[in-house]
A and B are shown apart, each in its own frame.
Chain A
């Protein structure tokens, strides 16, 4: 039953490249939640937007935070970027999201099978678990592997108009993140709230 992810017929992509492609598509002040580590660094490097939120800890909570934003602002599209190791920390969140069915939530999982930022140790799921199968089994029926960059872009376009939560998983390489997120949590949160129209700057 378990599938060797290395044998899956999907292209190995680059996180910064696909993150940049994603950000390039956003025209409607969509919120983007970046998981910790390299996911976050590439989101930052792809071009800072006030609607970006950067996590500095709490590994595994990118999807729950995005869910909260999606519930608070049902008319805004919310996109969450998460690594495979982080997702493993909080698999239960997939079931919570499936049960609430936020139609405005897109979840993207970058899967390289390693805890890259801590020295590239393999995750316990590497080569044995299939994230999309887990997601479908958790109740997120609209979950799919992106075959290549073009397929990823098509899936993102679809998800931005979808009427149910979408999870897109990509195999990625082990290249480190391109930028480094500025590590000021209050500034990050405040700017994000301005970006979401919840607050005005002083």
Chain B
């Protein structure tokens, strides 16, 4: 399987060195002291995960299941450490119980990055269907979520969302759309 490499929308910024979506996410996490990064792998997230592993500021590790990572992040928050969960759409679909019984009622500022499958050229019918469950779940719990499609809005959205999650003690989902990441394309 191949990932469509970083597509590059026109940059308004002068510096282009760090202007990849994953570079911006990494730097914004670091600036907000979000350093504990459990993930369940996703092809599109690969460059981000690789760079997080390479940066000693971050504690980056795979978990067997997404809900497990939510538990870890809840414990870490209560112990005084900030983190974020990386996953894909189908992984988010496994989280309804833990969001409704842990993150929301205990008021945990759970920061979630969801690599969006199931849209804009999706080739797997199962992914397309599961994607349609995501926003209704977020909306039914009245959770803040943003779908990011543009590189020039990424830093603002991620930075402000982290700050809002922490100060309002509420989860947030940042959905990384294929328009931002290139997504995954049928390549077989």
Taking Cβ atoms with an 8 Å cutoff, the residues of A that contact B are 31, 33, 53, 55-58, 60-73, 76, 90-93, 95-96, 99-100, 185-186, 188-189, 192-193, 196-198
Contact = CB atoms under 8 A, between A and B. Distances in A.
A198 B71 contact: no
A98 to B, nearest CB: 11
B150 to A, nearest CB: 33
B97 interface: yes
B107 interface: yes
Most chain A CB within 10 A, of B72, B77, B106, is at B72
B176 interface: no
Given A90-B65, A186-B107, A58 B75 contact: no
Contacts of B75: 33, 64-72
Contacts of B80: 72-73, 193, 196-198
A69 B106 contact: no
Given A64-B69, A71-B59, A100-B61, 18 more contacts: A31-B79, A58-B67, A61-B71, A61-B74, A66-B75, A67-B72, A68-B83, A69-B76, A71-B76, A72-B36, A90-B65, A92-B65, A96-B38, A96-B63, A196-B79, A197-B80, A198-B78, A198-B80
Interface in B87-114: 97-98, 100-102, 105-108
Q: How large is the interface on B (under 10, 10 to 19, 20 to 34, 35 or more residues)?
A: 20 to 34
A86 to B, nearest CB: 11
Contacts of B105: 56-57, 185-186
Contacts, number: 124
A95 B72 CA distance: 14
B81 interface: yes
A61 B79 contact: no
